[in-house]
Every structure is written in structure tokens, then in C-alpha cells.
């Protein structure tokens, strides 16, 4: 009597096919779970890669005017960056620390005034503690950044990002070849094409971001200082830093600017509002178009949606890295679509040539 193949027999084509499909889904779910569990180190690595992209972009740009070795150019960029941060800490650190404490006091007072005005105009049940709300916002940094919530943890994470960025910027091709070695030989050429396109896009995206940070920060500082708005230096630095987070950062900096302006008076608040619109107009109609035409074109709604998603899942770090992540994903999808289109065109041409040869025969 001949035994029939059972459901556990992998030589059965149907069983083997379904088993392979099940393995794919298990691998997808397991990969997603692994990414979630390792979200914090992965985001730190990604932040280091973004920093390395900025350092690499500065090194390449310096090479156009200073024909010396790459190592020397990278050293000049690093010395300039560290020198600037040291200058900020040494010459403006105490002033900025005092302004930061004053900013919190002004925000509490202005929020209390806003709540009182709202209650006087029919919102009697609108009642909450502004201090508690500020503490919640400051502490809600998400699951990923919960481990670095302390000052020491935050400084340690920044140091790790800085060191990782330096190593990646020193020898980017070394790490690129290392990742390519993990792939099949037939996929390596496409991998190099994709990584080159990602690097090109990120360098220009980050260059535009740094230019926007510089322009908005300095312009806000100067314009608010001309009118005598309190904490102009701190507001300029905050505005410049928040430019790194598109859409959301502009809203936060605008709210802070207007609240501090109204602490001086109605005219001060209106002036701060005017400064905000002028600075955002320059960034939106001059800097962003100048950079966007040379980088990947990201829809604002797509970026905002990614920021909401990554911010909810991974906190402030996910919010800051949402834009580069979306840009890299879009570049990868575009290059994959181009390769697929070339493959289809090649198959079509070969098919037509085969038909023509058959007709001639």
C-alpha cells in the first residue's frame, strides 16, 4: 500500500510554497518587533548618519576652494563646529541660562492671561495648571528618549551621535562597502546607486536646513532685538534650532515669539507676529525653493504625517528625524522604480527582437 504525502512533507510543492510564504510573514513581523525593541539605538545611529552627511557635505564644499586632503578638510569643519559651540557656552552661556529661566516665567504668565481671557468670554470650564502642562510637554519625549531623559543621559547620547558621525564621515565608503558585502553580488551595483542618491539628497537637504537655521535664527535675533523684545538672543537660538524640524518647529517658535512679545504689550506682540511672518516668508519663498529644486521634492502633508507618526512612536528624536527618513525612503523607492522600468523595457525590446527574428525565419 502506497503512503500519501502528509501535510508535514515539504517535498509537496503546495506545502513548500505556503511554508515559504509563512516564513516571509514571520520574518516581517519579527523584523518589525526587533526594530521596535531597538528603536533607541537605531535612531541614534540614524542621527549619527545624518550628522555624518552634514560633515561630509561641508568637507566636499570646502574642497572646492581649498585643495587639500579630505582628512584636513574634515578637521577644519570639526574645529569650526566645536569652536562655535564653545563660544556660545563661554560668552553667552550664562546669559542664555538666565533668559531660559525668564522665558519659562513669561510663558506661565502669558498662558494664565490667555486662560483668564478665555474664561471671561464664555469658557468658564477651561481650567488647568499651566506649570503642569509645561512639565508634561517637556517630559513627553516618548519611549525612545525616556532612557536619556536626564541631563547626563542626554549629553551621553549627543556625544555618541557626535562620535558616530565623525567615524562615518571619515571613511563613508568603507561602511558602504561593508553593507554591500552583506548583499548578493547582483544587487550590489543597485545598492551603490541608491546610497549615492541618498547621500546626494541628504547633503543638500541638510545644507538647506542649516542655511535656514542660520538665516531664521540670526534674523529673529536681530529683528526682535531692534524693538527691544525680551530674550531676543534666546528666541533667535530656539527659532534656529527648531528650523531643523519643519512645519512643527515653525509653529512652536512662532507661539513662543508671540507670547514673549505680548509680555511687553500689544504692540510688542504684533511686532513679534510680524517678525515671525517675515522670517517664515523668507524661508518659505527663498530658501526652501532654492534647496527643493536640487533635492527630493517632499509633499508638506507627507512630511507632517510622518512627523506625527514618528513623534508619537519615538518622541522628539523621531520627530526630528522624520524628514530625513522620508527623504531616504522616497529616493529608494524612486531608484527601485527606475530599475524596474529599465528591466521591463529591456524585456520588451528582447521580446520584440525575438518575434522579428521568428518572422524572418
**Best CA proximity match to 280, nearest among 249, 315, 309:** 249
**Nearest-angstrom CA–CA distance, 226 and 121:** 35
51-90 b/e with 16+ CB inside 10 Å = b?
A: bbbbbbbbbeebeeeeeeeeeebbeebbeeeeeeeeeeee
**Best CA proximity match to 203, nearest among 296, 268, 128:** 296
How do the pLDDT tens digits run along the chain, 361 residues long? Answer: 555 555 555 555 666 677 777 888 888 888 778 777 777 888 888 888 889 988 888 888 888 888 888 888 889 998 988 888 887 777 666 666 677 777 777 777 777 777 777 777 666 565 655 555 555 555 544 444 444 445 566 677 788 888 888 888 888 888 888 888 888 888 888 889 989 988 888 888 888 888 888 888 888 989 988 888 888 888 888 888 888 887 778 888 888 888 888 888 888 889 989 999 888 888 776 776 666 555 666 777 788 888 888 888 777 788 888 888 888 888 888 888 888 888 888 778 777 766 766 666 5
Largest CA distance in the chain: 99
130: exposed, middle or buried (C-beta count within 10 Å: 0-12, 13-18, 19+)?
middle
359: exposed, middle or buried (C-beta count within 10 Å: 0-12, 13-18, 19+)?
exposed
How many Cβ atoms are within 10 Å of 29's Cβ, its own excluded?
Answer: 10
**Nearest-angstrom CA–CA distance, 345 and 258:** 57
Amino acid at each position: 500500500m502506497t503512503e500519501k504525502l502528509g501535510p508535514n512533507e515539504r517535498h509537496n510543492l503546495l506545502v513548500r510554497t505556503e511554508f515559504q510564504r509563512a516564513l516571509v510573514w514571520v520574518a516581517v513581523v519579527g523584523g518589525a518587533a526587533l526594530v521596535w525593541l531597538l528603536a533607541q539605538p537605531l535612531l541614534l545611529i540614524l542621527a549619527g548618519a545624518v550628522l555624518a552627511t552634514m560633515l561630509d557635505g561641508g568637507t566636499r564644499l570646502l574642497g572646492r576652494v581649498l585643495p587639500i586632503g579630505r582628512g584636513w578638510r574634515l578637521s577644519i569643519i570639526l574645529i569650526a563646529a566645536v569652536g562655535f559651540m564653545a563660544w556660545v557656552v563661554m560668552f553667552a552661556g550664562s546669559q542664555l541660562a538666565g533668559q531660559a529661566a525668564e522665558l519659562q516665567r513669561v510663558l506661565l504668565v502669558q498662558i494664565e492671561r490667555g486662560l483668564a481671557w478665555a474664561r471671561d468670554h464664555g469658557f468658564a470650564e477651561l481650567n488647568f495648571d499651566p506649570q503642569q502642562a509645561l512639565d508634561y510637554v517637556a517630559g513627553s519625549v516618548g519611549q525612545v528618549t525616556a532612557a536619556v531623559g536626564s541631563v547626563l543621559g542626554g549629553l551621553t547620547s549627543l556625544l555618541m551621535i557626535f562620535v558616530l558621525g565623525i567615524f562615518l564621515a571619515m571613511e563613508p565608503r568603507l561602511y558602504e562597502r561593508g553593507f554591500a558585502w552583506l548583499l548578493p553580488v547582483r544587487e550590489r551595483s543597485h545598492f551603490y546607486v541608491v546610497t549615492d542618491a541618498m547621500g546626494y539628497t541628504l547633503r543638500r537637504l541638510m545644507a538647506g536646513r542649516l542655511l535656514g537655521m542660520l538665516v531664521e535664527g540670526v534674523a529673529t535675533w536681530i529683528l526682535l532685538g531692534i524693538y527691544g523684545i525680551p530674550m531676543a538672543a534666546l528666541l533667535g537660538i530656539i527659532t534656529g534650532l527648531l528650523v531643523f524640524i519643519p512645519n512643527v518647529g515653525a509653529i512652536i517658535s512662532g507661539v513662543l515669539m508671540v507670547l514673549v512679545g505680548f509680555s511687553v504689550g500689544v504692540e510688542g506682540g504684533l511686532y513679534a507676529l510680524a517678525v515671525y511672518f517675515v522670517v517664515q516668508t523668507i524661508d518659505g519663498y527663498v530658501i526652501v525653493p532654492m534647496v527643493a529644486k536640487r533635492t527630493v521634492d517632499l509633499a508638506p502633508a507627507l512630511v507632517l504625517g510622518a512627523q506625527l507618526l514618528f513623534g508619537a512612536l519615538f518622541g522628539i528624536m523621531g520627530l526630528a528625524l522624520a524628514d530625513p527618513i522620508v527623504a531616504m525612503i522616497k529616493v529608494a523607492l524612486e531608484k527601485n522604480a527606475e530599475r524596474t522600468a529599465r528591466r521591463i523595457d529591456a524585456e520588451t525590446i528582447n521580446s520584440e527582437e525575438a518575434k522579428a527574428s521568428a518572422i524572418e525565419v
